[in-house]
Chain A
Amino acid sequence: MIEFHNLKKSFSGREVLKGITFTIGEGEIIFVLGTSGTGKSVLLKNLVGLLQPDSGEIYIDGERVDGKSEEEYLPVRRKCGMVFQHPALFDSMTVFENVAFGLRKHFNLPEDEVVKRVHESLALVRLENVDQKMPQELSYGMQKRVSLARTVAIRPKILLFDEPTTGLDPITTNAVNKLIYDLSRELNVTSVVVSHDMHCALDIADRIIVLDQGLVVAQGTPSEMKNSAVPLVVDFLAEVDSAY
């Protein structure tokens, strides 16, 4: 489904990605873990064409996507739904309008279809009777759900999450994590989650990729990770234990 081959990217002479190679299968939930500044977000931006790699190749559904022009990239980007760390909702629009925004802007759908999709998407994130509320009337956790509904409304094949649980309290963290799992399975989409949170990864990931200083230093299933001797993985696992 998604393949990275020896991906390299530098900024002002500083090499952030030093040769990343891994693949993601269709329908998988993949967590990309690593410390700050290790290239996780740069990897996501390369995937959606917001950055171009210096060298290496990226394939989505067998099609090489790196090096495409902005116009050529649009159909690729429509396969991808991005969920930002913060809800990033339009605060002057109702929940309904927020979720409908992308549908109206990028898809030529009749209004009754827009209404249907908005309600379906809100139901998927377990939100009811909030479509006429303004974002600021909702809790932070509910705003995150609206943000997810907005992303899934365009029916992406790939969901990309940029640190979806960073800064959340333990209950909201687990709620968002469960939602990522439920949505990925219900919609049968491929999910790539960039995160610091090993606990969440162990809970729902099919596989975990660990980046350190621009390289993949470990990858495997949650149970394989639990037995890893890679120092960074051991440090991450110690954090999981210390929270209980």
Chain B
Amino acid sequence: MGRKTLQGINSIFIDRNSLKTKTYQRSAAKIVGPAPAFCDHICMYVVKLKNVSIQLDDFCLKNVNFELDPGESLVLIGPSGQGKTVLLKIIAGLLQPNTGQVIVAGLDIYKATPAEREMMLYKVGMLFQKNALFDSLTCYENIAFPLREVKKVDEVTIRQKVEKFLDAVGLLHAIHLFPHEISGGMQKRLGIARALALDPEIVLYDDPTAGLDPITSRKIAAMILELQKKNNSANIIVTNEMSRAYQLATYIGMVIEGELVLTGSPAETRQNTDPRVKQFIHGQLSGPLQQ
């Protein structure tokens, strides 16, 4: 997270400069194939948005700026319909902003060629809000699908990977079941396993615990953190549950009234004095935000 965008964490930024340099080298080394859209001065971060703006029919996002390192999580909060998912889609390469630069895994994705962008997309995993599982495929086949499509590896390797990921999310016993035969929490875990199957450097989670009870929700968040630690991935997570936001975040950002307000670490967010942020995180009915 950059010093320009989040003044409250300058000290963290400075203390970790050496770590950032190492991170950059590791990150760049992992990028394969020719990449003319690389920019040395910006691929320091695994995700960087610079002055990103987009105008859609009914709302806009203006001048979004943030930077994220491997191993860090940015949690996006904010009222419905303000652009959290739009922001995820911009980062996932699905929605081109009108202006600004979107660097993902070292690549300026909207300036890159289609082939370069495709290579970048293999480094990004996405969990959709409603999981978007293939309902005619078993748990095994759901995870095997991206591996077959992208990796072109043999079936023995696919089986090993599928079993590894199902085991990681505690679903090995459900390997031959279809999505409708497992609970909502299990479907979420399956969606997460599929999102991680290609070993992404960046994982985008669109409301990973929506609709789950708090106990299951907390367990899924713990699993996301554990997998992130194991893979040193950068996570961007949309949620409306403040307990999940505090559990998952390195940094929190609130998407509100067309802007991204970076509120800092969970502790800093709790102390944030922006009346909109205070109203939202405490669920206050009166304040500047209209219901």
In the assembled complex, the CB of B3 is this many whole angstroms from the nearest CB of chain A, namely 29
For B282, what are the chain A residues with a Cβ–Cβ distance below 8 Å? 170, 244
Q: Are A36 and B283 in contact (CB under 8 A)?
A: no
For A175, what are the chain B residues with a Cβ–Cβ distance below 8 Å? 285, 291
Decide if B279 is an interface residue (CB 8 Å cutoff).
yes
For B211, what are the chain A residues with a Cβ–Cβ distance below 8 Å? 166-167
| Segment from B96-104, B223-231, B240-248 that makes contact with A | B240-248
Q: How far, in angstroms, from A239 to B219 measured CA to CA in the complex?
A: 12
Q: A178-B285, A242-B243, A243-B243 are in contact. Are A171 and B214 (CB under 8 A)?
A: no
Decide if A41 is an interface residue (CB 8 Å cutoff).
no
Q: Are B240 and A235 in contact (CB under 8 A)?
A: no
Residues B234-256 near A (CB distance < 8 A): 240-243, 246-247
Q: How far, in angstroms, from A178 to B284 measured CA to CA in the complex?
A: 11
Size of chain B's interface in residues, with CB distance under 8 A? 33
Q: Which residue of B lies closest to A166 (CB)?
A: B211
Q: Are A171 and B81 in contact (CB under 8 A)?
A: no
Q: Are A242 and B246 in contact (CB under 8 A)?
A: yes
Q: How far, in angstroms, from A168 to B185 measured CA to CA in the complex?
A: 18
Contact of A35 (CB < 8 Å), options: B207, B210, B216, B241: B216
For B6, what are the chain A residues with a Cβ–Cβ distance below 8 Å? none
Decide if A90 is an interface residue (CB 8 Å cutoff).
no
Q: How far, in angstroms, from A236 to B217 measured CA to CA in the complex?
A: 11
Contact of A235 (CB < 8 Å), options: B207, B215, B246: B215
Q: Are A242 and B240 in contact (CB under 8 A)?
A: no
Decide if B157 is an interface residue (CB 8 Å cutoff).
no
Q: Are A243 and B242 in contact (CB under 8 A)?
A: yes
Contact of B240 (CB < 8 Å), options: A37, A170, A196: A170
Q: Are B291 and A172 in contact (CB under 8 A)?
A: yes
Q: How far, in angstroms, from A232 to B218 measured CA to CA in the complex?
A: 13
Decide if A198 is an interface residue (CB 8 Å cutoff).
yes
Q: Which residue of A lies closest to B246 (CB)?
A: A242
Q: A139-B80, A139-B81, A170-B280 are in contact. Are A198 and B214 (CB under 8 A)?
A: yes
For A142, what are the chain B residues with a Cβ–Cβ distance below 8 Å? 291
Contact of A171 (CB < 8 Å), options: B212, B218, B284: B284
Q: Are B183 and A172 in contact (CB under 8 A)?
A: no
A33-46 vs B: 1/0 string, CB under 8 Å?
01111000000000
In the assembled complex, the CB of B278 is this many whole angstroms from the nearest CB of chain A, namely 11
Q: A172-B80, A173-B283, A239-B218 are in contact. Are A167 and B240 (CB under 8 A)?
A: yes
| B interface residues with partner A (beta carbon < 8 Å) | 77-81, 183-185, 207, 210-216, 218, 240-243, 246-247, 270, 279-285, 289, 291
Instruction: State the 4 A-B residue pairs at the shortest beta-carbon distance, nearest first.
Output: A170-B283, A239-B214, A242-B243, A196-B213
A-B contact pairs, 13 of them (CB 8 A): A34-B213, A35-B213, A36-B183, A139-B80, A139-B81, A169-B80, A169-B280, A172-B79, A174-B284, A197-B214, A198-B214, A243-B242, A244-B242
| A interface residues with partner B (beta carbon < 8 Å) | 34-37, 139-142, 166-175, 178, 196-198, 232, 235-236, 239, 242-244
Extra A-B contacts (15), CB below 8 Å, given A35-B216, A36-B185, A197-B214: A36-B184, A168-B80, A168-B240, A170-B240, A170-B242, A171-B291, A172-B291, A174-B284, A175-B291, A196-B214, A235-B215, A239-B214, A239-B218, A243-B241, A244-B242
